[in-house]
Amino acid sequence: MQQAYIKTPLGTALIEGDEYGISKISMLDGDVPVSDAVPEILYPAARELTEYFEGRRRNFTFTMNPHGTDFQKKVWQALLQIPFGSTTSYQELSIKLGDVKAIRAVASANGKNPLWIVVPCHRVIGSDGSLTGYAGGLWRKKWLLEHETPPVQQSLF
């Protein structure tokens, strides 16, 4: 397993993966030094994350290989279907997955998402529109949602 630490506007991100794909992207708190060089196998993910933060990328194309249960992977696949700049609720996600009563299990799988930003768990909000829990901190969730839906410039005339 190879690792790289890259700087983002939200702190340092850790990228982990191997020849089978990227298995983990997570945010680290504190002063973590960035990598001098990104391993070739991780480079596409690092480049695409940088493009995302620069506002030049809306979806990711590098090979992903997250580890989890079959149910978790099903939830993560559903998260990938949430369009850039949109949100959904845990309840809507549970209904989409075929079991409205699975809301807690869906929320738990969402919280165990190993591919920060790429599998957009930040796009899941409460049914009332509130920003609910986020492993990276609610301030990061708010930043990401604002990054994906910048305010529309109003015309003065």
Count: domains in the chain: 2
- The answer to the question of residue 64 being in a domain is no
- The answer to the question of residue 90 being in a domain is yes
CA quadruple 135, 68, 46, 37: dihedral, nearest 10? 100
Residues 78, 28 within the same domain = no
Residue with tokens 């165990």: 112
Residues 84, 130 within the same domain = yes
Residues 78, 141 within the same domain = yes
Max distance between CA atoms of the chain, in angstroms, equals: 56
Residues 42, 80 within the same domain = no
- The answer to the question of residue 61 being in a domain is no
- The answer to the question of residue 112 being in a domain is yes
Residues 18, 80 within the same domain = no
Element (H, E) at 139: helix 138-148
Provide the residue range defining the domain that includes 132: 70-148
- The answer to the question of residue 134 being in a domain is yes
pTM above 0.85, yes or no: yes
- The answer to the question of residue 65 being in a domain is no
Q: Give 152's contacts (C-beta < 8 A, 6+ positions apart).
A: none
Residue 26 appears among annotated catalytic residues = no
- The answer to the question of residue 105 being in a domain is yes
What does the mean pLDDT of the chain come to?
93
Catalytic residue (choose from 10, 121, 125, 144): 121
Residue with tokens 């809306």: 58
Residues 136, 88 within the same domain = yes
- Report pLDDT digits (tens) over 91-128: 999 999 999 899 999 999 999 999 999 999 999 998 88
Residues 79, 141 within the same domain = yes
> Does pLDDT of 153 surpass 80?
no
Residues 83, 31 within the same domain = no
- The answer to the question of residue 41 being in a domain is yes
Residue with tokens 């030049």: 56
User: Percentage of the chain with pLDDT > 90?
Assistant: 83
Check if the beta carbon of residue 58 is closer than 8 Å to that of residue 103.
Answer: no
Residues 87, 20 within the same domain = no
C-alpha span between 41 and 139 (Å, rounded): 31
**pLDDT band of 24, cuts 50, 70, 90:** very high
